[in-house]
Chains A and B, each alone.
Chain A
Amino acid sequence: MDLEGFEAATVPHMNTLYDAAVRLAGDHATAQDLTQETYLRALRSFATFEAGSNCRAWLLRIQYNLFCTQYRRGRRMPLVWLDEGEPDPALELPSDEPGPEEQTVRELDREAVRRAIARLPEDFRMAVTLVDINGLTCAEAATVMDVPRGTILSRLHRARRRLEAMLLPELGRVQADDL
């Protein structure tokens, strides 16, 4: 088993996998389980992975399939994003970062965005997670979710309009250099 090759190909995508897992599972403990199980499955079938093809989409497809077949049954997404705990006071901000007040506003915005995304129906939430947050193309997201590309576009469009309605106050605070 080529453990070194497996880690080199897959570990760079762990943030994406974990982000998608949190949004699918709704809590951090389950997200960690889902991420770990995804990696174990990927390891077992790494021999079938074609070197040079899209490893991130391959991993996300395994994870999404795993979630749909084993984690989703009976699960209800929480309407409120779970508290991630207090920020680490030891974390020093570099001098060119926004000041504490602006940081607080931005953190509040992030929480508002996470809550709004958590309120979306699962299919919409996954499309936003894959394309808008993690930068997959519509074609890649379509492969992950096993639906036509047009379906991804349609889900994204409807999800964005719902988010827009939920996040109107936060939109005004987006800085020009964030665009």
Chain B
Amino acid sequence: MTCDDFQLQLTAFSLGELSSDERQQARDHVAACDDCASRMLRDRQLTALTRTSAVPAPEATRTAVLAAVRAEAAKAAPAPATPAPERLPARRVRRRHWVALAAALLAAAAVVAAALLVVPAPDPGSPLAAAWSSYHARGKDGLGTPSPKEAERLFAVLGPDSRPPDLAGYGLRQDGWEGRDLAGHVAAVAEYRDHEGGRLTLMRWRGELPAVARAPAGSGLKAYRWGRHTSYWWRADGVVWCMVGTIDQDQLYEIAEHLGGESSGAELG
């Protein structure tokens, strides 16, 4: 192993990320080379120094975070039932659950329906139509990953937003992404799947929001109905975001709201 080789592998060596053969070669080299032994010492000094800079959460932050968590949990908890109901036969309890679930779904559907604007099919040459075709084009297979050249081109057009966001926190795994031409726009298209096979497609390109999409009441997001599917739209830093999918539609709305609706830079109106 040469000194250049060792320098290249120094970080991996200090983190224990080398194979056993490589590690032995590095050890042998350090034992025989004073310069690289000094380099290794400096690296260890650096990591020791870096560790001292950790910033613990202030007590006020801990208190505020815990208070917010408990308030959220209390909000989500069902209201206490008074007086305590009689114990019902199991079948009746199940039926009650179904009734409550159906009522909740109907209420949610009513809110969403009131909020949406159902409009005629878009102009076939518009980005809206192109996005719709794109959504249908690869419904089953998932996508690959862009070649380095394609990734570079997407980055040049979209900047840091060219990479799809991680939605693992919503139980969605990425199922590939690629660059596509959407009515003359270079677009980054990403696919996600949930554990039940539900699908979410996210498309982004630089341009204007299609005028046909309107904001539902009480929300900054724009929604557009495609048959049984609802797509959500917003624009931030000149980039149009379009999200559509077959996953739970309340969850889809929640993700869209989180990604776009609360963004301070988003143009929503």
Contacts and interface: CB of A to CB of B under 8 A. Distances in A.
Contacts of A44: 72
B70 A3 contact: yes
Interface string B225-269: 000000000001100000000000000000000110011110000
Select the residue from A65, A114, A153 with max chain B CB neighbours within 10 A.
A65
17 contacts: A15-B57, A19-B56, A32-B65, A36-B65, A39-B65, A39-B69, A65-B168, A113-B49, A133-B51, A134-B54, A138-B15, A146-B166, A146-B174, A153-B11, A170-B49, A171-B42, A179-B44
Given A45-B169, A65-B169, A74-B264, A167 B49 contact: yes
B198 to A, nearest CB: 13
A154 B7 CA distance: 12
Interface residue tally on A, bucketed by range: 35 or more
A95 interface: no
Given A17-B57, A40-B72, A70 B258 contact: yes
A153 B8 CA distance: 11
B61 A35 contact: yes
B55 interface: yes
B76 interface: yes
B11 A65 contact: no
Contact of A69 (B11, B15, B70, B259): B259
B45 A174 contact: yes
A117 B66 contact: no
B28 interface: no
Interface string B66-94: 10111011001100000000000000000
Contact of B57 (A35, A43, A134, A171): A35
Contacts of B58: 18, 28
Nearest to B73: A3
Contact of B165 (A41, A69, A128, A157): A69
Interface in A1-40: 1, 3, 6-7, 11, 14-15, 17-19, 22-23, 28, 31-32, 35-36, 39-40
B160 A72 contact: yes
A160 interface: yes
A1 B76 contact: yes
B171 interface: yes
Contact of B56 (A7, A15, A32, A73): A15
Given A39-B65, A61-B169, A69-B258, A19 B12 contact: no
Contacts of B163: 146
Contacts of B169: 41-42, 45, 48, 58, 61-62, 65-66
A157 B65 contact: no
A155 B162 CA distance: 20
Interface in A153-176: 153, 156-157, 160, 163-164, 167, 170-171, 174
